[in-house]
Amino acid sequence: MPASASHAYGSIRLPKISARASYERAGFAPYEIVYEKPLGIWATRIVLRPAHAEDFDYCAHLYFEAMDNIIKELNLDMAAHTAGFRQSWDVTQVRIVTLDGTDIGWLQSFVKVDALFLGQLFVGKSLRGQGIGAELVKGLIEEAASAGQAVTLGVVKTNPALRLYERLGFRTTHDDARKFYMRRDLRVPS
Q: What is the pLDDT of residues 155-165, one digit of tens each?
A: 999 999 999 99
**Is residue 7 classed exposed, middle or buried when 0-12, 13-18 and 19+ CB atoms within 10 A define those classes?**
middle
CA 163, distance to chain mean position in Å, is 17
User: Which carries the bigger pLDDT value, residue 76 or residue 89?
Assistant: 89
> What is the set of domains in the chain, with CATH numbers?
4-184 (3.40.630.30)
Which residue in 138, 139, 123, 145 sits closest to 168, CA to CA? 138
Specify which of 13-17, 44-48, 175-179 reaches the highest per-range mean pLDDT: 175-179
Residue 144's nearest CA partner among 175, 183, 90, 98 is 183
What is the average pLDDT score of the chain? Answer: 81
pTM of the model: 0.78
Q: Stretch 111-126: mean pLDDT, rounded?
A: 93
pLDDT above 70 coverage of the chain, percent: 75
- 161-164: list long-range contacts, CB under 8 Å, 24+ apart: 161/121, 161/133, 164/133, 164/134, 164/137
